[in-house]
């Protein structure tokens, strides 16, 4: 699903090219101003998004119930184990517990109306005070949701970073080749196979696991490194690489055909422009035509697509990582669902939203630097 | 409209499109067949039913047709119920109201592998004193093995493998094997090989009351079952595989239709009314794009309900303000400037009329291929949610079968059929729609055609 949700339109519109002489300034200042505005709008977007998440997670009263449960547990524990209170009767103890719970709930503001509380949740979420997990712990044994998530982030980045970058450059290269001599056998095969991309990566993952782990026993069923993890760094890296082969292959298999197909179509449309024909007629070598007349005008689109590739790093991971038993953010979310660990679920969603926003933000800066329209406005009309 | 039909006629030139259409039609027919033969309620009851519905079926059995591809044939289940006349029954009266009931189960065993398990389900009728049964097993080569003697009350189940006395007796006679191996093996052959031929199981029961009777059901669980096999709960996978089709089609179609149509109308309104309407739509879209769909679906599934219809609704809601809005907006912006819109305005056409009669129809060539290509992605979304354990708790779907298989380690245990059957169906469905969608895209967007 994540795959289909990402279309070329998802990238925020490029800033309007400003040509008014009044706004003439150094590129840096302009980019800075643009960045600031973009940053603020994105932050507002994140705030709204996270607030919606908080609303969804609170609507069923789950978060409140869990906090109440926590308070009750800790207060009961304190009273029952306080040697000074041992002389009290059961009735008196119960009354004391009720009173303390009331005070504690008041202190934490649980007696306040939901609206007030929801804004406090929002503040906590935005400042990444994600609270403590109910059942999950990080590998170091901490129950801090923030630490759990930070610990799971690198494996996700490693896996999806490697595979998405590979996918991007591979499909770009192959597509260029096909655009040069379209109609060749390989070209037709790729076009014919492009509908297979309807299936997501985890789906192909299951088949790959079946063949290469189940039947042939060449590669591991899943996980990130062998257990126990190898001691020496080289052996560790090798084991990691071995475990990454199947997930990367699955991701490539599910996306490469459609990716190559759309790139090749895109290049072909550009290659049929009049000025390309003109350049060919002039007798310029193919390579040069390709670089100067096809690749250059398509650069903004290529960058956009690269940006989408980066955004794609954060989506669709839960199932993929679950199938491959990859200890990343997505699988953590899935485990949290299984354990009804609300704090971790809300925390992961907040992190997803933040990561998306940060990616979009960084891309905006890159745009501002690369997009010719922004540069023309900034540079004071040199050239065109 | 005519153009539309002409375009559709052009699809005939694309073999892949024709194949896709055939697949889709077959799926529709299959779904209708499923809905007629296994009504919703029955499917839910069957799929959620426990041991009392499925006790006759073997556990984790591959489909029976795999025997076609095997040299060593695996046994199918043998089910003999005396109440249905599948056993020889005779009754002799004895003194003091006692009777002797004899039940003889006779069956032919020709498989090259041992059965999976053996069990006797007793259905005695009595008021106070339960009948007493002794059981004798006769092999094709005439050996008689005493199985045991036991009082049988209502609901007594005798599982051959779990009886300690039987195991000790068998280990003295043929060696230390589980009962379903020991009772079927050729004596003194290593490794254990099943003995083919006619077996009998003789039950002689003494009943102690007037009118007391005994019926019994003997089951030699096979290693294969039916056309789809069974899962870890002995359930027939056929039901889930059949019901997966209408569920997948309904979910995919409704989600794709719901999202594309609403998205398109909203984009049209935004473009036509412009100013703050357009702004609002654009801002909502940006916020929505920031919300990760899958985690939110996971939260909804966890906190509220896993009903497939609720998840469908949330999916549509979250996808309405998706990337599509921006695509459609760009196209509408172009259309808005066309002279014929101006003409319509001059005629005095109202806003709503312009949106629905002049703007929206123009976008159909873009819409139809998108709609069709979206269907498989929603079909797979439903499967993905099910694989995550967020499947509908009532309905059996393909994704849920994959999830059951995954969580029970089907790939590790080599139970490939369990994963391959639903995955194959998913693949066929996804490919069918995708092939039609791709061809439609080429027909409706002629610029792609010559490429």
CB within 8 Å: A56 and B291? no
Q: What is the pLDDT of residues B406-449, one digit of tens each?
A: 888 888 888 888 888 999 999 999 889 988 888 888 787 766 55
From the list B290, B377, B437, the residue facing A356 with the nearest CB is B290
Q: Just give the CATH number of A152-339.
A: 1.10.3720.10
Is A30 near chain B, with CB under 8 Å?
no
Low-confidence winner among A8-22, A326-340, B11-25, B269-283 (lowest mean pLDDT): A8-22
Q: What is the pLDDT of residues A244-286, one digit of tens each?
A: 999 999 989 888 888 888 888 888 877 777 888 888 888 888 7
CA distance B165 to A359: 69
- Model confidence band, residue B358 (pLDDT cutoffs 50, 70, 90): confident
**pTM summary value:** 0.79
**CB proximity under 8 Å: B 142-201 to A:** none
Residue A249: what pLDDT? 92
Residue A223: what pLDDT? 80
Is A29 near chain B, with CB under 8 Å?
no
CB within 8 Å: B376 and A198? yes
Residue B190: what pLDDT? 78
CB within 8 Å: A338 and B389? yes
CB within 8 Å: B292 and A357? no
Residue B27: what pLDDT? 92
Q: Minimal Cα–Cα distance from B198 to chain A, Å?
A: 37
From the list A56, A322, A346, the residue facing B300 with the nearest CB is A56
We find that the CATH architecture of domain B71-221 is Sandwich (2.60)
Residue A330: what pLDDT? 84
Residues of chain B positioned with their CB less than 8 A from the CB of A257: none
Q: What is the pLDDT of residues B161-179, one digit of tens each?
A: 888 888 888 888 887 888 8
Backbone conformation region of residue B205, classed left if phi is above 0, alpha if psi is from -120 to 50, else beta: beta
We find that the CATH architecture of domain B2-47+235-448 is Orthogonal Bundle (1.10)
CB within 8 Å: B427 and A316? no
**ipTM value for the complex:** 0.77
pLDDT at B88 over 60: yes
* Interface residue of B293, B303, B426 to substitute, partner A, most A CBs within 10 Å: B303
- Buried b / exposed e across A292-330, counting CB within 10 Å, b at 16+? ebbeeebeeeebbbbbbbbbbbbbbbbbbbbbbebbbbb
| CATH 1.10.3720 placement within chain B | 2-47+235-448
Question: What is the per-residue DSSP string for B233-246?
Answer: T--BHHHHHHHHHH
| CATH 2.60.120 placement within chain B | 71-221
Is B291 near chain A, with CB under 8 Å?
yes
Is A332 near chain B, with CB under 8 Å?
no
Main-chain phi, psi angles of B230, to 5 degrees: -130, 165
CB within 8 Å: B411 and A340? no
Residue B43's contacts (CB-CB under 8 Å, 6 or more residues apart) are B239, B243, B395, B396
Residues of chain A positioned with their CB less than 8 A from the CB of B301: 337
Is A319 near chain B, with CB under 8 Å?
yes
From the list A4, A203, A357, the residue facing B423 with the nearest CB is A203
Domain definitions of chain A by residue range: 32-126, 152-339
- Across chain A, mean pLDDT equals 76
Counting as low any pLDDT under 50, the low residues of chain A are 1-24, 374-384
pLDDT at B26 over 90: yes
- Model confidence band, residue B246 (pLDDT cutoffs 50, 70, 90): very high
CB within 8 Å: B430 and A198? yes
- Across chain B, mean pLDDT equals 85
Residue A134: what pLDDT? 66
Residue A303: what pLDDT? 74
Nearest CA in chain B to A44: B287
From the list B290, B304, B326, the residue facing A9 with the nearest CB is B326
């Amino acid at each position: 699903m994540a795959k289909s949700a990402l279309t070329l339109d998802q990238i925020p519109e490029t800033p309007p090219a400003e040509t008014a002489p009044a706004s003439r300034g150094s590129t840096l200042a302009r980019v800075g101003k643009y960045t600031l505005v973009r940053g603020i709008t994105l932050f507002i977007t994140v705030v709204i998004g996270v607030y919606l998440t908080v609303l969804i997670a609170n609507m069923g009263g789950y978060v409140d119930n869990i906090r109440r449960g926590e308070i009750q547990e800790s207060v009961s524990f304190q009273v029952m184990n306080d040697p000074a209170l041992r002389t009290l009767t059961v009735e008196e103890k119960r009354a004391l517990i009720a009173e303390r719970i009331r005070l504690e709930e008041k202190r934490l503001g649980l007696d306040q109306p939901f609206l007030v509380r929801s804004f406090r949740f929002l503040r906590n979420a935005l400042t990444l005070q994600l609270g403590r997990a109910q059942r999950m712990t990080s590998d170091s044994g901490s129950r801090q949701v923030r630490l759990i998530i930070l610990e799971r982030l690198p494996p996700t980045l490693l896996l999806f970073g490697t595979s998405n970058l590979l996918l991007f450059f591979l499909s770009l290269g192959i597509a260029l080749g096909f655009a040069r001599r379209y109609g060749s056998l390989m070209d037709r095969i790729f076009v014919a196979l492009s509908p297979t991309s309807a299936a997501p990566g985890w789906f192909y993952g299951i088949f790959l696991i079946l063949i290469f782990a189940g039947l042939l026993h060449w590669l591991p069923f899943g996980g990130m490194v062998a257990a126990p993890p190898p001691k020496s760094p080289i052996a560790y890296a090798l084991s990691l690489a071995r475990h990454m082969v199947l997930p990367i292959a699955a991701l490539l298999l599910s996306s490469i055909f459609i990716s190559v197909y759309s790139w090749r179509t895109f290049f072909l449309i550009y290659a049929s422009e009049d000025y390309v024909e003109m350049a060919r007629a002039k007798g310029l070598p193919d390579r040069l035509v390709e670089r100067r007349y096809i690749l250059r005008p398509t650069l903004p689109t290529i960058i956009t697509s690269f940006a989408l590739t980066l955004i794609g790093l954060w989506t669709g991971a839960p199932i993929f990582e679950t199938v491959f038993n990859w200890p990343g953010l997505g699988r953590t979310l899935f485990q949290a669902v299984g354990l009804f660990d609300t704090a971790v679920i809300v925390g992961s969603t907040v992190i997803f939203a933040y990561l998306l926003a940060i990616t979009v933000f960084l891309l905006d800066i890159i745009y501002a630097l690369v997009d010719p329209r922004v540069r023309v406005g900034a540079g004071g009309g040199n050239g065109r | 409209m005519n153009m539309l039909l002409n375009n559709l006629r052009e699809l005939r030139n694309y073999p892949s499109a024709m194949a896709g259409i055939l697949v889709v039609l077959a799926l529709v027919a299959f779904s209708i067949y499923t809905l007629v033969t296994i009504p919703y309620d029955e499917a839910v009851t069957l799929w959620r039913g426990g041991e009392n519905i499925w006790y006759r079926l073997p556990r984790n059995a591959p489909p029976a047709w795999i025997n076609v591809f095997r040299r060593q044939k695996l046994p199918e289940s043998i089910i003999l119920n005396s109440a249905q006349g599948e056993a020889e029954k005779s009754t002799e009266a004895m003194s003091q109201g006692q009777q002797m009931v004899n039940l003889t189960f006779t069956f032919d065993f020709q498989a090259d592998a041992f059965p999976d398990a053996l069990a006797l389900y007793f259905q005695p009728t009595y008021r106070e004193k339960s009948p007493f049964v002794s059981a004798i097993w006769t092999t094709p080569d005439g050996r008689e093995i005493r199985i045991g003697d036991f009082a049988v009350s209502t609901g007594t189940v005798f599982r051959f493998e779990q009886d300690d006395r039987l195991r000790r007796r068998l280990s003295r006679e043929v060696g230390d094997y589980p009962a379903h191996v020991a009772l079927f093996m050729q004596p003194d052959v290593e490794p254990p090989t099943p003995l083919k031929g006619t077996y009998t199981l003789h039950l002689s029961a003494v009943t102690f009351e007037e009118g007391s009777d005994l019926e019994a059901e003997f089951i030699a669980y096979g290693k294969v079952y039916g056309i789809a096999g069974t899962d870890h709960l002995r359930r027939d996978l056929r039901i889930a595989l059949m019901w997966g089709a209408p569920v997948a089609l309904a979910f995919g179609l409704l989600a794709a239709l719901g999202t594309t149509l609403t998205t398109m109308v909203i984009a049209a309104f935004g473009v036509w009314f412009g100013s703050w309407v357009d702004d609002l739509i654009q801002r909502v879209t940006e916020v929505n794009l920031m919300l990760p769909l899958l985690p939110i679906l996971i939260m909804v599934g966890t906190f509220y309900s896993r009903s497939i219809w609720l998840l469908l609704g949330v999916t549509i809601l979250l996808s309405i303000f998706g990337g599509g809005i921006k695509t459609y907006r760009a196209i509408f912006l172009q259309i808005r400037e066309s002279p014929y819109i101006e003409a319509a305005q001059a005629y005095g056409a109202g806003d709503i009329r312009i949106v629905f009669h002049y703007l929206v129809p123009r976008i159909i060539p873009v819409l139809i291929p998108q709609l069709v290509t979206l269907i498989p992605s929603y079909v797979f979304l439903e499967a993905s949610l099910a694989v995550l354990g967020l499947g509908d708790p009532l309905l059996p779907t393909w994704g849920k079968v994959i999830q059951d298989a995954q969580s029970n380690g089907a790939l590790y245990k080599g139970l490939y059929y369990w994963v391959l059957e639903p995955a194959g169906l998913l693949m066929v469905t996804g490919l069918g729609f995708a092939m039609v969608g791709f061809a439609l895209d080429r027909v409706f967007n002629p610029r792609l055609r010559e490429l």
